[in-house]
Chain A
Amino acid sequence: NAGVTQTPKFQVLKTGQSMTLQCAQDMNHEYMSWYRQDPGMGLRLIHYSVGAGITDQGEVPNGYNVSRSTTEDFPLRLLSAAPSQTSVYFCASTKAESYGYTFGSGTRLTVV
């Protein structure tokens, strides 16, 4: 099992560009979430999904879109990158609410 795989690990974008952060898990987990973590701060929830075809907004959804067409994949799309979106992005998954989340190793995004 690879666990939760995030790609790319590093990315530099110009303001206004769009891109998709990839997240894939091979554990057949129903629940998946996206977080962003700014330096020295906690993790803020962007979007989450409780199963294929179901997504919902977290605390900071503006500027981000998600979709969950398969159980395995949960991509995060930045529509028009802004410097305020410079952050480390983590994807996480779990098989059920009563279990702990497994996190990916993160994507470090810089918007210039």
Chain B
Amino acid sequence: GQQVMQIPQYQHVQEGEDFTTYCNSSTTLSNIQWYKQRPGGHPVFLIQLVKSGEVKKQKRLTFQFGEAKKNSSLHITATQTTDVGTYFCVTNAGKSTFGDGTTLTVKP
């Protein structure tokens, strides 16, 4: 299945700082989904993007899909300790392997 590359693999921030993770593909994506997995937990679906240039917000989280539909980003404003976990982006979820994601740790 088609995979996307996600960077960075790890990110450590101070509580209150912003955080961004990026997903990149060499080919055009039909869609991209974002999931969050808390330590010791299971992945939880956050959002799906399908349109070129799409931007969606969920409280402090902003998701973007690039104009060329080859990249996507998740931005968290003013991180909190509850944001800790691994964030995955995946295309064709269910038929694709998830990458290693970006693991976010937040220092209080």
B55 at interface, CB cutoff 8 A: no
A111 at interface, CB cutoff 8 A: no
Are B94 and A97 in contact, with the CB atoms below 8 A?
yes
B11 at interface, CB cutoff 8 A: no
Binary contact readout B22-53 vs A (1 if CB under 8 angstroms, 0 otherwise): 00000000010101000001111111101000
A58 at interface, CB cutoff 8 A: yes
Report how many residues on chain A are interfacial, defined by Cβ distance under 8 Å: 27
Are B88 and A42 in contact, with the CB atoms below 8 A?
yes
Are A43 and B98 in contact, with the CB atoms below 8 A?
yes
Are B97 and A45 in contact, with the CB atoms below 8 A?
yes
A33 at interface, CB cutoff 8 A: yes
**What's the Cα separation between A98 and B1 when bound, in Å?**
16
**What's the Cα separation between A103 and B100 when bound, in Å?**
17
Are B45 and A48 in contact, with the CB atoms below 8 A?
no
**What's the Cα separation between A45 and B88 when bound, in Å?**
14
A105 at interface, CB cutoff 8 A: yes
